[in-house]
Structure 1
Amino acid sequence: LGGMRDEAEIKGHRRTYIGAMPGKFIQALKEVQVENPVIMLDEIDKLGSSFQGDPASALLECLDPEQNNAFLDHYLDLRVDLSKVLFLCTANQLDTIPQALLDRMDTIRLSGYISEEKVAIAKHHLLPKLLRRAGLKKKTLDVTDGALRQIVEGYAREAGVRNLEKQLHKILRKGIVKLLEAPDTTLRIGIKDLPTYLGQPLFRQEKALKGVGVVTGLAWTAMGGATLGVEAARIHSQTRGFKLTGQLGDVMKESASIAHSFISSHLKRYKGDPAFFDRSYIHLHVPEGATPKDGPSAGVTMATALLSLARREAVHRPMAMTGELTLTGQVLPVGGIREKVIAARRQKITTLILPQANQRDYEELPDYLQEGMEVHFARDYNDVFQICFEEKPARDSRIH
């Protein structure tokens, strides 16, 4: 459906026009000759509209189970029953789909592939397909499992496998040139050979930051999960102030303000100097500065970074955390748990703090993602404090 802008593609042309044809759905029914086919509507988020009509509005009648039992095609000028058809729609984003159309569909979100799945897809499907297309045998040109993993993590970090296929194709093209120069040789491409074929990796290994005022968070991006370092520093003690940098969006700025307000008003509870923020100009930075960031899920991370700075004490062990923080200290659920767990595993971080409300999301993950992970579920910030600093808050620390 990408680029479709004429509603006649859906509902058909009237027979008075030269070259008139039935709509796509009637053509599909004629082709399969059954009344209950599966019809896939690809790229439904890229529908257009013009003076010729709005296809998205035409789809309302087709996808509404209350109306599609009497769908009217303009070419046939007859009522056709589409109620037995199973429509599957695909989209990359929901923002551009009209709300009225979205209400008539059940939304199923599909997570991106993890590294192990991408390596398996490349090994069993992509590479054999490219070798057949190039007329090569596996024994002539082979890519090791270690090289495939390095391609996935260093050159093609994405939700799908399109860029992974491009990188493998690039290796084959350069490999074929070498085989033409020396036909009797065989190529076995390992990790050390990849810079020769693909150049230097596009993605570097994320370094886990540590120290006083430094905490590792978990984020979700279009390319999957990522670790997110949060740094807090005291600039001077002449006046009270709070500064944010790191290309933060409006929601993330609000989360930082909430974290600052909550920690400032509860320092005594968490065994810090109650007057610390009254005489401190604080700078909170979220690297990398050139990458835009937004969302509420870093609230717990920013609060912990501020508390670590106020207590002059680093988090006691390597860990990563995610969760939205409220002004009363409640830890609210966030999305992207699967991707965030994968990001932590990639960084070899085995201790995580997740919101209590996300426990079900974590338990639904495959066993191989949960293996070796120590996950703590926090209902409020008291739980986060006990895990990070391994001591209990002051006695009057009950959060309402």
Structure 2
Amino acid sequence: MSTEGRSAEPASATNALESAGFVRLITRADGDALAASGLLASALDDSETPFQVTVAPTVAARSKRVHTPANEDDVTVVVGTADVVADADDVIQLATPDRPATLEAVDLVRDLDVTPDPVIALAGIVASGGDPGAGESEWLETAAREQGLLEQRPGVAIPTADPVDGLAHSTRLHAPWSGDRDATREALADVVDGDLADFDADDHRAIASLVALDVVGADRVTDAAAKTIGRALQPYVTPDGPFETLGGFADVLEATASVAPGTGVALAMGHAVRERALEGWREYGRRTHVALRDGSTGRYDGLFVVGIDDGPVEAVARVGAAYRSPEPAVLAVGDGEAAIATREAGSLGATVEAVARELTEQAPEADVGYDGGQRRGYLQFDPDVGETMIIAAVRELL
């Protein structure tokens, strides 16, 4: 049975890490978890504690790593749900379902007397679906502002200074031109004309207005789109960060978690992998928008289904729920994998686990893997499993 919602006691976790000879970090594959792992890895690096980071996309994959024999002084930190032996002294789990893993990691890092990078921490919180500076993250935003690492301006939250590049590949929005650089350039022709170095607040404001109008005026757009695009406007700029804005940083973390996890871990540790990360992010964004635009669709009571031939299913489900779905939940089904995303707050961990069990009962040979988090669920299965079976299981249990 997987465990969700149990985190290590602060004192015991701190003592375990301080005395560890080697630390294994095993993390789920999303931007929030990458940021959490990066903060912890950086703290271990500061203390010269050897470590290894592994990104594992399913509960079963993480559990297998946890139960791999280790040396006596090894400690394992799991970011996400996994099958963990209760009260195991050598395993620390960060898996509270209603709190970003990044905040769990921030607490642990501070207990180790290390100051977490506030920009990376805030990017992880944004990737989790949270708002920077809200609730527990208020002090992080304040610290970043006081250090000159964060400031707010008009515009759209993208990772690049070039608005054409940033908007074409962003998965924080979905417009008629998304995923197509030439179409994006044409759409921005009236407002992007000149040297980017000369851009001022009025230019950024004009771009934001155009983007918002194109998003909410698109065919098949839903009422939720206006609220979602609003969260991508008035971005926090990160003058000394690897990317132009905090929201853009979060978008790249999400992308690399899916397509280039090793690069994503290095990025979350503050290493200079910007160009490699952007390459993965561009391809991730392009495939997401093409798949969402070209995929087959079906509508059920409470569920919108997108069938795709190619593309990152989790991003398709997330962007679809935010901009295209007339229902509160989206199921994106690809070849051997599927994802669920919802607009409602709350963990999908229990739901996606129940779906996985249902599929396993119906098709024991399907080799179903799963993972769940805030507003997201992920499934892996044998490609021979029919889409109809998956839809039926999700409809019954969602």
- Whether TM-score is above 0.5 comes out as no
Structure ranking higher on relative contact order (CA contacts 8 Å, 6+ apart): 2
- Normalised to the residue count of structure 1, the TM-score between the two structures is 0.25
Q: Which has the higher helix share?
A: 2
Rg larger in structure: 1
The TM-score with structure 2 as length reference comes to 0.25
